[in-house]
Structure 1
Amino acid sequence: MSIEQKPTQRQQQAQQRREQIMEVGLDLFSSQGFAATSTRQISQQVGITEGLLYHYYPTKAGLLMEIVKRRHLLEGGLIALLETAKGRPLRSFMEDLIARIVLLAHEHAALLRILLGESQTNEELYGALCDTIETMIQLLVDYLASRVRVGEVRGDISLQASTQGFLGGMFLFFMTHHRLDAAQWQQQSGAFMQEWLDSWLLGVQIP
Structure 2
Amino acid sequence: MQSGKFVVCRKFQVILISASDLEDVRKVFKMKVHARVSINSLAEKRTEADKHGGTSPKWSCTVEYTIGEYAVIQQGVMLVIKLYCERKLGDKYVGEVHTSIKELFDSSIKNGGNCSGAMTCPVHKGSKGVQGTLTFSYRFGDRITVKRPSKWKKLLQFGAVVLLRLALSSVDMEIEEIPIFTDPDVIE
* TM-score, scaled relative to structure 2: 0.26
Where relative contact order (Cα < 8 A, 6+ residues apart) is larger, the structure is: 2
Structure with max Cα Rg: 1
* TM-score, scaled relative to structure 1: 0.24
Which structure features the higher share of helix residues?
1
Which structure features the higher share of strand residues?
2
